[in-house]
Amino acid sequence: MTDPIRALETSPRLAILFLALSCLLVVTLVTPAVAQDERTLKQFFEGKMVTVKIDMPATQQGIDLHPEYSPSIDFDHYSSRIKNYGTAIRNGDQVIITKIKLKGDHIEFQLGGGGFGTFGDSMATASVTSQYIPKSNKQSQLETELMVTTDPVRRARIEAEIADEKDRRRREQQSANATSQIAKQQQEARVQEQRKGGGSRFNVHYHDHVPAALKTPAGLMRALSQWLEFPPDIFGPDSPDAPEADADPTPPPSTAFDENNSGGFLPIHKGMTEDDVIDVLGRPAERSESDAAGMKIVNATFKQPGITVEAQFVEGLLVKFTITNG
């Protein structure tokens, strides 16, 4: 009886066949799981309305999120897309979730159509070129005649006619260029309008693969909670915006728990103005300002007895903070 392992070692063709069958088996086992995860997300999200907390670029490139990093948005890329393509969805707008796609290392969270620039939009951006006005047959004939004509009077007459033809051609070319420019401007206006109505998307990226916890509705909502509002009456109790269940002890409604266990509770929460936070924590020990996509971003460090609070404000509102000992 032939040893199958030895047979593989001695037959390259059999080894390749065995490897191909192994890969096919892996794909067969993995694909249904991915499809099931995507189906769960699609059934939960698609067709529901969310409220956007950030201006979104009018392109299918959307906004790239990297929840594993802080900040999760590369504001240089974000600013560039806003400047190049304009805004499709504005901060505070309500918009429908139109499609969820689960891919190897990221999730596409499409809003209002997913953004202009997909395959179906390619005709709208076709290049507009100006009509080229060629030399007329009459001018070519006159130039040929001029080369063999020696009579000065006749040459002068031919040169005048050639000049007239060149001037006519120049005027026609200018008219063609103007018509092309108008057509280009009209096309750009149409494209811009289509961009505004084409929606946008979040691309939620991870280093290697999407973690299992993020393939669930609750996990994906948490990853997007800083930039989208999920109304609890639509998304249920797992919504990050749902009121927390009563616990004992119960903190005051406006109190944020110190997640680093460095001192209990602090009376600050996301959404507070910078002035309100200063009223609670006092003047910051350090403060810096920057600008991203026309939005004012402030990073401030507050010192309290035994703790340090690092806070970030966008357009004057507290969007995140961390508390550490010391």
pLDDT values of the chain reduced to their tens digit, one per residue, 326 residues: 445 445 444 555 555 555 555 554 444 444 555 567 899 999 999 999 999 999 999 998 999 999 888 888 999 999 999 998 889 999 999 999 999 999 888 999 999 988 887 655 555 555 667 788 898 999 899 889 889 899 999 999 999 999 998 999 899 888 888 877 877 777 666 666 666 668 999 999 998 788 888 889 999 999 999 999 999 999 999 899 888 765 454 444 434 444 444 344 567 888 888 998 898 888 999 999 988 767 788 999 988 888 888 999 888 888 888 888 76
Closest CA to 135 of 164, 174, 179, 165: 165
Q: 292 - beta bridge partners? A: 295
CB 325 within 8 Å of CB 262: yes
For residue 263, what pLDDT is reported?
41
Span 244-325 CATH architecture: 2-Layer Sandwich (3.30)
CA atoms within 13 Å, Cβ hemisphere of 180: 13
Q: What are the residue ranges of helices labelled H in the chain?
A: 4-10, 12-45, 75-85, 137-148, 152-196, 217-224, 232-235, 274-281
Alpha carbons 262 and 304: distance in angstroms, whole number: 11
pLDDT of residue 66: 92
Q: Which amino acid is at 103?
A: K
Q: Are strands 228-229 and 49-52 parallel, antiparallel or unpaired?
A: antiparallel
Look up the pTM and report it: 0.52
172-202 residues labelled b (16+ CB within 10 A) or e (exposed): eeeeeeeeeeeeeeeeeeebeebbeebbbbb
What is the pLDDT, as a whole number, of residue 197? Answer: 67
Q: What residue ranges do the domains of the chain occupy?
A: 40-116+198-234, 124-196, 244-325
Question: What pLDDT sits at residue 321?
Answer: 86
- State how far the Cα of 133 lies from the Cα of 20, in Å rounded to an integer: 59
Of 325, 202, 316, 324, the closest CA to residue 270 belongs to 316
How far apart are the C-alpha atoms of 265 and 255, rounded to whole Å?
Answer: 6
DSSP 130-166: PPP-PPPHHHHHHHHHHHH---HHHHHHHHHHHHHHH
Strand, coil or helix: 99: strand
Cα–Cα distance between 119 and 285 in angstroms, integer? Answer: 52
> What is the distance between the alpha carbons of residues 73 and 146, in angstroms, rounded to a whole number?
69
